[in-house]
Amino acid sequence: MSAEAFDVAVVGGGLHGLSAALHLARTGRRVTVIERRWTGRHASGATAAGVRTLGRDIAEIPISLEAMAMWHRIADIVGDPCGFHAHGQLRVAETGEHMPALLQREAKIRSLGYAHEEIIDAAELRRLVPALSPHCVGALVARRDGAADPHRTILAFRRACEAENVAIVEDCGLEAVDRQGDDWLLVCGQRRFRAPVVVNAAGAWAARLAALFGDEIALGVRASMMIVTERLAPLLAPVVSVVGRALSFKQSDQGTLVIGGGLQGAADLDRERSSVDFTELAKGARAASDLFPAVRGVRIARCWTGIEAQTHDHLPVIGASPNAPGLFHAFGFSGHGFQLVPVVGAILTDLVVEGTTRREIAAFAPRRLMQERVAA
């Protein structure tokens, strides 16, 4: 059976796979995206789509700030604004006891030369979010942060890929690989692909994919839950999270409230399914109505979960395989990879094209999660 030949095969048609494909295609590479189900089927289609630099791990701040600059010109990159609005993100203190953690965080990032997180008092908080319960005393704010429309973003990245002649192949799962000369042969059911470069953007299944190439990577899984309500009149513009509670709260352009914050359901990787734990999810609804009294009694329209890979240090895996030539990993975004989408594709392109990158990615090296090989 003859194999379809490409310069780069990206495995996984989530946003990270599409972003990598887009950036690589723009360097003139012939690129395919191989997706087991359909583009955006998993985390990228389930995401809350918060675009957040606020509270990032220190190691992620440089690429997160670069990604934020890209979000502010996202229409130039993918030809559509992706529903992105920079209304800010806030981390709210409900009591005075919660303020020291926020003050320390601001001091820490300022000492490192960053200025994107700023302490605000109760009066400024009230001005930014009038609907917030009056018991809240202050917050940390990142004013250039915001949120996007996840489905519009997927469509925009997909269309931009297609405009660059990326071959997007759906209903096509990678099952086995073989080395043939300088190429990888990718076996996907009845179809065969060959390429010297493979990008592993397989999300929650990325460790399984890596293992096909001989990379044993320790990876956990998460199944974050979301709530969306009926439509309401405009209530708030920024995205609000709160110290000590699992809550992320925002209002979409359509008026629905979108409530998340990382409460966990159950994931089943073999069946590619995840399920809601309603007892746990009730904590999110409770936190939302504590913080926003106006939402008490609002009807919940839908709940869902999405499956994603989680690393032990909650930092992503971005970099070349230390074992398999031509294999590059991009996964393990641990619940906060949406914001990084535009920049990670650019980083992978540096690595594929130049063999190196000026961006700071040492903390994301795949090797840190690779198990010791048992001597034969």
Q: Can you give the binding site for ligand FAD, defined by CB under 6 A?
A: 11-17, 34-37, 41-44, 46-50, 52, 173-174, 201-203, 205, 209, 224, 226, 260, 306, 308, 331, 333, 335-339
CB of 117 to ligand FAD, least distance (A): 16
Task: Give CA–CA dist 121/127, Å, rounded.
Answer: 10
Closest to ligand FAD by CB, 88 vs 99, is: 88
Q: At its nearest, how many Å lie between ligand FAD and the CB of residue 81?
A: 17
Q: Which is nearer to ligand FAD, 99 or 219 (CB)?
A: 219
Alpha-carbon distance of 225 to 240, in angstroms, equals 17
Question: What is the C-alpha to C-alpha distance for residues 51 and 63, in angstroms, rounded to an integer?
Answer: 13
- 14 within 8 A of 37, measured Cβ to Cβ: no
The runs of H, that is alpha helices, within 143-250 are 150-163, 206-212
Q: How far apart are the first and last CA of the chain?
A: 35
Report, in Å, the least distance between residue 105 CB and ligand FAD. Answer: 18
Q: Please state the closest distance from residue 97 (CB atom) to ligand FAD, in A.
A: 26
Closest distance between ligand FAD and the C-beta of residue 239, in Å? 8
What does the chain come to in residues? Answer: 376
- Would you give the distance in Å from CA 24 to the centre of its chain? 19
User: In the complex with ligand FAD, which residue's Cβ is closer, 99 or 339?
Assistant: 339
Closest to ligand FAD by CB, 326 or 342:
342
User: Residue 9: which H helix or E strand, with range?
Assistant: strand 8-11
Q: How far apart are CA 217 and CA 215, in angstroms?
A: 6
3 state SS for 101-116: HHHHHHHHHHHCCCCC
Shorter beta-carbon distance to ligand FAD: residue 83 or 335: 335
Min dist. Cβ of residue 113 to ligand FAD (A): 23
